[in-house]
Amino acid sequence: MPNVTLFKQESNIFKWKDIETFLIRSQYNEMLDFVMKEYDTIQYPVPAGENRPAGQPSFLNRNNCLTIEPCPTAIYAQTNQTSSPVGKKTSEKDENSAIINNPPDECFIDRPDRSFIPKFVYERKTFLEPPPSNLDLTFITNGITGGAVIWLYYYERMGIFKILGALLDDYNYRGKYTISGRREYTSTIPPERLNTYSILMDMISTLHRIGISSNLRDRICLYQRFLGVSIENNLGIESERNTGFMNTFNRLIDYSLEYYKAKQLAQAIQAQSATSPQPRSSVATQTSIRDTITVLKQHFEPLQYGRNQINTFIGIATVHATLCLVNMLRAEIGIPAQYQKPEEFIPAAYDILVAKRSLTLNETNRFIIYDNCASYGYRLLTDIETIKLPELTTIATGSTLDTWLNDIEGLIEGYRNAYSALPEKVEAIV
């Protein structure tokens, strides 16, 4: 059994059910419920009783980011059975059934009637094989960490909100595309595809009209106040900037890469001699990394200020709604039918709706690059925010810091490579 737990469940992690305004919760619960049903039944179906298969999009992988999942209903089993129980939904309950598993608390939002809600969830995956026997690297959360902000930031730079803005503008006002407002079959849609996109489109439009949507001003202030960076805009918004955040994070990436380079060299030298002892890690570099983590953890405090957490939740929900909506509207906006994956139809939608140009194939895929930055950045920052500093030992061989750095090597390299391939460089950060 592991005797050291490296990550702790922070008491200040903000969860979806902590949003006290019923209007916001009810409207977004309804929209997310629609999105998840569309995900699970049409766009990315999951076999009954199984987790999402590996081939599904990264934004639906609970090991990659804070994603959304449907909450299970109460599970029932026949009381007259002695074998392993057979799960049934609530609607299938009868007099011979008994509750064997209640949905978790995260599946409830409204305290008086305990109604079901969508579930936000992230579950940390350990990459070491075999996992260390003396160190528990697992972590699960249903709430907002600093990593969720950088995830949202990179999806913003991907152009998701610009795509949504163009769709809403056309649906409500311009009318260039044949986006129907009917809620039924049409002659141009095959029987297996109900004309249900108009339901989601109108839900999102209503959120904007009543003033509880994810708006650009809120997100600009969120990025400035927490990440210390902004996005291109003409609103002239100035708020307090957490200027040291990205500089410290980038310095941590550089120290980590230096650490891996030195260790790889030591391992290469050791491989040439069977009698060489276990390669030693640089204690000086480990100490620099630990000190940088200490400084970076202090920069997470601004996330607790103002509406930063609520704006992050609403932004993530809007990203999922947009990804779902664009998939449903592919034919209406002129995306070829064979473009069925997000890495195909999102860049196409950006070209058509935002860049206003014909479909182009570039050296890098817009969706993949930004999604990689988002998912790698999320996992790294969530680790840093929740890691227990007293447990990070810095010794030459077998330190807990050494084990953790080995576990996240792929994340560090993945983030560095994805960021270096971004089509918009420093000039995109203002």
Residues 31 and 404: their CA atoms lie apart, in Å, by 38
> Which pLDDT belongs to residue 7?
95
Instruction: Using the predicted structure, report yes or no on whether residue 430 has a pLDDT greater than 60.
Output: no
> Which pLDDT belongs to residue 427?
41
pLDDT > 90: percent of the chain: 58
Instruction: Using the predicted structure, report yes or no on whether residue 371 has a pLDDT greater than 50.
Output: yes
> Which pLDDT belongs to residue 253?
96
Residues 411 and 103: their CA atoms lie apart, in Å, by 33
Classify residue 120 by burial, with Cβ atoms within 10 Å: 0-12, 13-18, 19+. Answer: buried
> Which pLDDT belongs to residue 292?
96
The tokens for 85 are 């129980």
Of the candidates 313, 280, 308, 286, which has an alpha carbon nearest to the alpha carbon of residue 223?
A: 308
Least confident range from 34-48, 163-177, 217-231, 307-321: namely 34-48
Least confident range from 171-185, 268-282, 305-319, 351-365: namely 268-282
> Which pLDDT belongs to residue 49?
62
pLDDT classification of 185: cutoffs 50, 70, 90: low
Distance, C-alpha 383 to centroid of its chain: 14
Residues 373 and 297: their CA atoms lie apart, in Å, by 20
Instruction: Using the predicted structure, report yes or no on whether residue 237 has a pLDDT greater than 50.
Output: yes
Give the number of other CB atoms < 10 A from CB of residue 101: 13
**pLDDT tens by residue, 105-128:** 666 655 444 455 678 999 999 999
Residues 158 and 155: their CA atoms lie apart, in Å, by 5
pLDDT classification of 396: cutoffs 50, 70, 90: low
> Which pLDDT belongs to residue 223?
96
> Which pLDDT belongs to residue 318?
98
Instruction: Using the predicted structure, report yes or no on whether residue 87 has a pLDDT greater than 50.
Output: no
> Which pLDDT belongs to residue 113?
45
> Which pLDDT belongs to residue 276?
53
**Neighbour-count burial for 347-373, b at 16+ CB within 10 Å, e otherwise:** bbbbbbbeeeeeeeeeeebbbbbbbbb
Residue 228 to residues 291, 306, 372: CA-CA distances in angstroms?
20, 15, 21
Q: Could you say which DSSP state residue 5 is in?
A: B
Question: At 100, which helix (H) or strand (E)?
Answer: strand 97-101
> Which pLDDT belongs to residue 74?
40
> Which pLDDT belongs to residue 88?
37
Instruction: Using the predicted structure, report yes or no on whether residue 3 has a pLDDT greater than 50.
Output: yes
**Which residue(s) pair with 349 in the sheet?**
none
**pLDDT tens by residue, 275-305:** 555 666 778 889 999 999 999 999 999 999 9
> Which pLDDT belongs to residue 279?
62
Instruction: Using the predicted structure, report yes or no on whether residue 395 has a pLDDT greater than 70.
Output: yes
The tokens for 112 are 């008086």
Output Rg (C-alpha) for the chain, integer angstroms.
Answer: 24
Least confident range from 53-62, 217-226, 398-407, 411-420: namely 53-62
What is the residue type of 428?
A
Instruction: Using the predicted structure, report yes or no on whether residue 319 has a pLDDT greater than 70.
Output: yes
Please give the average per-residue pLDDT across 425-430, as a whole number: 45
Residues 374 and 383: their CA atoms lie apart, in Å, by 14
Please give the average per-residue pLDDT across 94-100, as a whole number: 41
Instruction: Using the predicted structure, report yes or no on whether residue 63 has a pLDDT greater than 90.
Output: yes
HSE at residue 264, side-chain half, CA atoms within 13 A, is 7
CB neighbour list of residue 13: distance below 8 Å, 6 or more residues apart: 141, 143, 144, 145
Average pLDDT, the chain: 83
Residue 127 to residues 64, 65, 91: CA-CA distances in angstroms?
12, 15, 40
pLDDT classification of 48: cutoffs 50, 70, 90: low
Q: Could you say which DSSP state residue 170 is in?
A: I
CB neighbour list of residue 327: distance below 8 Å, 6 or more residues apart: 43, 342, 345
